[in-house]
Amino acid sequence: MIPQTELLNIYLMAFSIRSVELTISENYYKELVRCPVHLSIGQEMVPSIFSSLDKSNDLAVSTHRGHAHFLGKRGSIRRLFDEIHGLPTGCSGGNGGSMHLIDIDNGFMGTTAIVANTVPIGVGMSEAQNLLTNNNSITTIFMGEGATEEGVFYESLNYAKIRNLPCIFVIENNNFSVYTSLEPRQGKLNIEKKINGFCVNYIFVDNHNYMLLHSKWSQAVDDVRNGKGPYVIEVMTHRYREHCGPNFDDHLNYRDETFLKKWKKLDILDLLKNDLIESGIEESYLSKKEDQIFKFIKNEYKNSEINYLKKREKMNKTCS
């Protein structure tokens, strides 16, 4: 069982992450954000549980779909908005955009656009933690299941195992790499079998079973901190929006109806909220909290956009 206060924090983090991404998607049509955005609306379970288990001296790296992991590692919402607006106050100085997020103070060591690119970097960081620190810190390496189709993933896994490194590979398996489902890419050989070949500890969670994920992930964190070597956690999940961009693309029929229906019933915010209410938390209390978070996020976005417009005006004047 997850204690009620912790469950509440997990829900509020998931709610914040979704609100941040909904805000981005609602404003994207204005064309003031000039970088592509890979939204993880629907996939909030992993980053919100991560935020509950993470310690400030732990490290993390992520992918092209990294907003949620950045936020789960306590990255600043405003600095994320400023980054996608290309402002110098952005988390990467406005130079990186949505796919290049970094917050060294919080141990969020970066995201990149190249699939699997941060996997060996994360393993290297965990080796440095092993050799240079004495604080039992660990590195979490976020990746999509598409990254398991890159050779460097297996080299990294092998190296992490051989060196008994303190890292956790977290695979968010949303069944798709752009428009291609798993089977034409990986055949019937599931990811677990491949991981087993390396004798690395492996955890699998489906159906947004967040209680199971929380208990297995907590155990994994304890084991990794205690020198028991790396883990792979594979979590089945679902992105609601198109691969890249703010829209829905279900009309393209690359994901069948049974699949979409399954995930519609498993919305992580609904699951968490229902369980919180069942545990005795008043719905009105939750609504008040949601309202506060939503207003804060809207306001941060508005101010970021205002600063972008000011910067653009100044640049236009300089150029004319």
Ligand X SMILES: Cc1ncc(C[n+]2csc(CCOP(=O)(O)OP(=O)(O)O)c2C)c(N)n1
Residues that bind ligand X (CB under 6 A): 64-65, 113-115, 144-147, 174, 176-178, 243
Spell out a b/e string for 64-95, using b for 16 or more CB atoms within 10 Å of the CB, else e.
bbbbbbbbbbebbbbbbbbbbbbbeebbbebe
Q: Which does 231 bind (CB under 5 to 8 A by kind): ligand X, Mg ion, none?
A: none
Binders of Mg ion in range 168-227 (CB under 5 A): 174
CA distance 9 to 70: 16
Token pair, residue 308, equals: 């972008």
Q: Which does 65 bind (CB under 5 to 8 A by kind): ligand X, Mg ion, none?
A: ligand X
Token pair, residue 291, equals: 């309202």
> Would you call 236 helix, strand, or coil by DSSP?
strand
Out of 75, 144, 230, 246, point to the residue binding Mg ion (CB under 5 A): 144
- C-beta closer to ligand X: residue 20 or 147: 147
Query: Minimum distance from CB of 144 to Mg ion (Å)?
Result: 4
Q: Nearest residue by C-beta to ligand X?
A: 144
Binders of Mg ion in range 148-177 (CB under 5 A): 174
Query: Minimum distance from CB of 136 to ligand X (Å)?
Result: 29
Backbone φ and ψ for 175, nearest 5 degrees, come out as: 70, -10
Query: Minimum distance from CB of 47 to Mg ion (Å)?
Result: 15
Q: Which does 82 bind (CB under 5 to 8 A by kind): Mg ion, ligand X, none?
A: none
With contact defined as beta carbons under 8 Å apart, do 117 and 57 qualify? Answer: no
- C-beta closer to ligand X: residue 127 or 242: 242
Contacts of 171 (CB under 8 A, 6+ apart): 143, 144, 145, 147, 148, 191, 232, 233, 234, 235
Query: Minimum distance from CB of 181 to Mg ion (Å)?
Result: 10
With contact defined as beta carbons under 8 Å apart, do 43 and 68 qualify? Answer: yes
Q: Which does 70 bind (CB under 5 to 8 A by kind): Mg ion, ligand X, none?
A: none
Contact residues: Mg ion, CB under 5 A: 144-146, 174
